[in-house]
């Protein structure tokens, strides 16, 4: 019997594009493969156009990390654009999917969107574990219906929820609570840590003085992130903090994004002095260095968040988290940072308070590191996959064999 060290696992992604869920899931696969499991990835899309950015699978940092570790990644070769409706799956696409699923003991679906593919008739039946990373299941188009259909069909053996808010939201939406298992996000503590050398290098490259207060905002260009609130907060803060700087990272956080350029013009107007202290960095592959350069990691999201990865990564690098009360954010930063109402002045004052309290919070941030460990997260995934495969082979979920 294959257990942890011989388990064959297929992960199905909707695509490779910027976002915390893909970073977490890909890191989980790397850790499980290090432990002896055999992993493959099938991506529905080979490239996506979203957040005002063309994102090719081969250019993605997660893709490169997976393939660099020897994990096979293939794609159905589709291209997706914001607002574009999905086309029916073709015979060759379903044949490729059937070959990939037939060779697996268990399938991991990164969020519920890939279930539209996995629910197609005629594919080999394997137990599916759905990895859920949001707290707004009703706001995912037809994905919730696909999840419920797969549950009713008996193919979903478990759902991993990255946050308590995720479990509560999906239970309220009608997903059986017995299927919902909470495994909080974790990060590589060797990579994400305070680092004075990285801090100085990033600041020097951006022309930011070593002693200037710095706020980092790591988010993609999406309405849920409430970028207008962040920019209004940044203007208020920069007007008061004459030495302050703001770093904006993520897909779409660049001058080429016309939507962001319009928001910046609306908020800052002709005040070039203030706007000049807003640094648009786009997608970065060295977020551990960017976070280390910051004093505050900010989140201004309005909905949808579950366990925002930016808060955890930023905290582990020594930045004080300041967040709106969305998903599990308040519980994540409890005793380590600040929660604010969605008001620009309130957010700006909280940033200043966080900068002032940073030295006093260093001990608490250091003591919290084990709680956010990648090792703990990967061990929990390994245990769940073992239980799923054992239960299926023991006949506890009939109808899933061969």
Tens digit of each residue's pLDDT (9 = 90 or more) over 161-173: 999 999 999 999 9
How far is it, in rounded angstroms, from Cα 300 to Cα 248? 12
Provide the terminal-to-terminal Cα distance of the chain, rounded to the nearest Å. 15
The pLDDT of residue 317: 98
Tell whether the model's pLDDT for residue 127 goes beyond 80: yes
Tell which residue, 283, 284, 308, 286, has the closest CA to residue 54.
Answer: 283
- 129 within 8 A of 32, measured Cβ to Cβ: no
Tell whether the model's pLDDT for residue 63 goes beyond 90: yes
Over residues 189-204, the mean pLDDT reads 98
Tell which residue, 284, 299, 281, 288, has the closest CA to residue 199.
Answer: 288
Tell me the three state secondary structure of residue 335.
coil
Estimate to the nearest angstrom the gap between the alpha carbon of 388 and the chain centroid. Answer: 24
The pLDDT of residue 396: 61
Quick one: pLDDT band at residue 60, thresholds 50, 70, 90?
A: very high
Tell which residue, 257, 224, 291, 250, has the closest CA to residue 18.
Answer: 250
Cross-strand partners of 321: 297
How far is it, in rounded angstroms, from Cα 49 to Cα 44? 14
Residues in the chain: 402
How far is it, in rounded angstroms, from Cα 107 to Cα 124? 11
- 322 within 8 A of 308, measured Cβ to Cβ: no
Residue 6 token pair: 């011989």
Q: Which 8-state DSSP code applies to residue 71?
A: -
How far is it, in rounded angstroms, from Cα 94 to Cα 96? 5
The pLDDT of residue 49: 86
In this prediction the pTM is: 0.93
Residue 259 token pair: 């939507």
89-128 as b/e: b if 16+ CB within 10 A: beeebbebbeebbeebbbbbbbbbbbbbbbbeeebebbbb
For 280-330, write each residue's pLDDT tens digit. Answer: 999 999 999 999 999 999 999 999 999 999 999 999 999 999 999 999 999
Residue with tokens 């620009």: 344
How far is it, in rounded angstroms, from Cα 317 to Cα 196? 10
Quick one: pLDDT band at residue 109, thresholds 50, 70, 90?
A: very high
The pLDDT of residue 402: 37
Residue with tokens 């994540």: 332
The pLDDT of residue 143: 95
For 85-108, write each residue's pLDDT tens digit. Answer: 689 999 999 999 999 999 999 999
Tell me the three state secondary structure of residue 296.
strand
The pLDDT of residue 83: 56
How far is it, in rounded angstroms, from Cα 347 to Cα 331? 18
Tell me the three state secondary structure of residue 48.
strand
């Amino acid at each position: 019997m294959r257990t942890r060290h011989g388990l064959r696992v297929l992960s199905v992604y909707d695509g490779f594009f910027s976002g915390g869920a893909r970073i977490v899931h890909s890191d989980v696969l790397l850790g499980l493969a290090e432990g002896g499991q055999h992993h493959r990835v099938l991506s529905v899309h080979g490239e996506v156009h979203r957040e005002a950015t063309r994102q090719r699978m081969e250019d993605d940092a997660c893709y490169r990390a997976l393939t660099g570790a020897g994990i096979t990644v293939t794609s159905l070769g589709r291209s997706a654009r914001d607002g574009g409706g999905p086309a029916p799956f073709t015979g060759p696409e379903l044949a490729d999917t059937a070959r990939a699923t037939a060779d697996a003991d268990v399938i991991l679906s990164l969020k519920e969107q890939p279930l539209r593919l996995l629910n197609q008739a005629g594919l080999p039946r394997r137990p599916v574990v759905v990895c859920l990373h949001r707290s707004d299941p009703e706001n995912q188009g037809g994905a919730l219906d696909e999840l419920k259909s797969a549950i009713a069909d008996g193919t979903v053996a478990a759902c991993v929820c990255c946050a308590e808010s995720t479990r509560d939201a999906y239970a309220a939406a009608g997903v059986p609570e017995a299927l919902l298992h909470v495994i909080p996000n974790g990060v590589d503590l060797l990579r994400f840590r305070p680092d004075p050398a990285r801090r100085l290098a990033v600041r020097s490259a951006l022309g930011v003085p070593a002693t200037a207060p710095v706020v980092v905002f790591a988010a993609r260009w999406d309405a849920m992130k409430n970028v207008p609130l962040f920019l209004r907060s940044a203007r208020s803060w920069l007007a008061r903090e004459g030495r302050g700087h703001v770093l904006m990272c993520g897909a779409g956080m660049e001058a080429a994004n016309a939507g962001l350029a319009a928001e910046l013009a609306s908020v800052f107007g002709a005040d070039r002095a203030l706007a000049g202290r807003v640094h648009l960095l786009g997608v970065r592959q060295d977020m551990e260095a960017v976070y280390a350069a910051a004093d505050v990691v900010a989140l201004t999201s309005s909905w949808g968040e579950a366990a925002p990865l930016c808060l955890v990564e930023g905290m582990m690098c020594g930045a004080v988290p300041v967040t709106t009360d969305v998903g599990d954010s308040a519980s994540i930063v409890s005793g380590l940072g600040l929660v604010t109402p969605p008001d620009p002045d309130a957010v700006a004052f909280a940033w200043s308070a966080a900068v002032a309290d940073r030295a006093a919070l260093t001990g608490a941030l250091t003591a919290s590191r084990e709680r956010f460990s990648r090792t703990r997260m990967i061990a929990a995934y390994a245990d769940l996959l073992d239980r799923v495969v054992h239960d299926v082979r023991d006949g506890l979920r009939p109808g899933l064999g061969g």
